[in-house]
Homo-oligomer: A and B are copies of this chain.
Amino acid sequence: MATRAKRAAKRRAALTRERILRAAINLADRDGIESLSMRKLGQKLGVEAMSLYNHCQNKVDVLDGMVDIVFGEIDLPANGVDWQIAMRKRAVSARQALLRHPWAIGLMESRATPGPATLRHHDWVLGTLRTAGFSIDMAAHAYSILDGYIYGFTLTELTLPFSNSEGAAGVAEIAGNILEGFRPDEYPHLAEMAVDRAMKPGYKYGDEFEYGLDLILDGIHRAQDSV
């Protein structure tokens, strides 16, 4: 069995932190973060779980690395663009990255040490605002509102029971949820909203994102001008 192990080792690429993190992201995307274990991760890479500890400190380190990769997937428009357009593009790309990796937001809450892609991202946002003439205080305000909105909206979107369903199947599912979940007279406004919007074919909660984003960008623009 020594020969069998050797052959297996030859067949597979060398284990690296990078490969481990990629595999972990794939597993989490497919099966959910709660079912990601060091043992399954090793198995996916054709290796015993214990081998992972030669390349990552522990599971927390793996989770930190995964979050940093998600940050790295967010597009940061080239310098020189109007700040409002740049912030808008970044916000849209951030939401998409967070939807691709639904486990990421939940993980952020407990990450203590931001990785290099995370730091680069934040530095880019602040730099774009400062270059556009924002004061330090105003840049902090804008940064805090925008990031709050992006994370919070996407979190809400991911939490909705029907976020990913579309078309007829989605409508049926929504109707089912509503009728099962609560009596309409107990929550009349929720029922009204569900019937008039959520159950309309073609409705997607995600479409709300850009309305709020533009309202916020407009508010920041207004506050910035009045300084």
Contacts and interface: CB of A to CB of B under 8 A. Distances in A.
A64 B107 CA distance: 18
A148 interface: yes
A148 B159 contact: no
Nearest to A139: B193
Interface of A: 34, 102, 105-114, 119-120, 122-123, 126-127, 130, 136-137, 139-141, 144-145, 147-153, 155-156, 158-159, 161, 181-182, 186-190, 192-193, 196-197, 205, 208, 211-212, 215-216, 218-220, 223
A152 B148 contact: yes
A75 to B, nearest CB: 18
Contacts of A218: 219
Contacts of A211: 141, 144-145
Contacts of A161: 112-113
A109 B102 contact: yes
30 contacts: A106-B106, A108-B159, A113-B181, A114-B181, A119-B182, A119-B190, A122-B190, A123-B187, A123-B190, A126-B189, A126-B192, A127-B188, A136-B193, A136-B197, A140-B193, A140-B208, A141-B208, A141-B212, A141-B215, A144-B153, A147-B156, A148-B148, A148-B152, A148-B153, A148-B156, A149-B149, A149-B152, A152-B152, A155-B155, A218-B219
Chain A contact residues, majority secondary structure: helix
Contacts of A110: 34, 106
Nearest to A140: B197
B108 A155 contact: yes
Contacts of A188: 123, 127
A197 B127 CA distance: 15
A199 to B, nearest CB: 12
Nearest to A214: B219
Contacts of A139: 193
A110 B105 CA distance: 11
A212 B136 contact: no
A123 B111 CA distance: 33
A141 B216 CA distance: 12
Given A109-B105, A109-B159, A113-B181, A212 B120 contact: no
